[in-house]
Amino acid sequence: MKLSDYATLTLQYHDLAVPNYRYLFVGSRLKLLRAMQTIDEVGVDRVLDDLLVDIEQLTRQVETSDDYIHQMVMCRLVAVNLDLIATLINKYSVVSNARLTQLDFGEMGMSRPLISKLPMIHEATKLLDGNPELFDYDGYIPGWMIRLIYKPNMTTNMVTEQYWPKYIQLSKLSASEFASKHAAYTTFHMNGSIRNVFGTMFLLMVGTDEYQKIMGRVHDLNSKLLLINYLLSGKSLPLNNPYGAGYSVIQNDKKVCFEGPLTDEHGIRCIDVM
pLDDT of residue 224: 96
Alpha carbons 236 and 194: distance in angstroms, whole number: 61
Q: How many CB atoms lie within 10 A of CB 115?
A: 14
The SS3 assignment for 127 reads helix
Alpha carbons 78 and 75: distance in angstroms, whole number: 5
Beta strands at 249-251 and 270-272: parallel, antiparallel or unpaired: unpaired
pLDDT of residue 157: 84
CA angle 254, 260, 261 (to 5 degrees): 155
Q: Between the CA atoms of 242, 243, 248 and 252, what dihedral angle is there, to the nearest 10 degrees? A: -50
Provide the CB-side half-sphere exposure for 140 (13 A, CA): 1
pLDDT of residue 133: 59
pTM of the complete model: 0.83
User: Which of 55, 46, 45 is CA-nearest to residue 101?
Assistant: 55
Q: What is the pLDDT of residues 28-49, one digit of tens each?
A: 888 888 888 888 888 888 888 8
Residues of the chain with pLDDT under 70: 1-16, 108, 130-141, 143, 185-193, 204-209
Q: At what angle do helices 68-91 and 44-64 cross, to 10 degrees?
A: 160
Amino acid (1-letter code) at residue 33: L
Summarize the chain as % helix, strand, coil (round to 5).
60, 5, 35
Q: Which long-range contacts (CB under 8 A, 24 or more apart) does 131-137 make?
A: 135/198
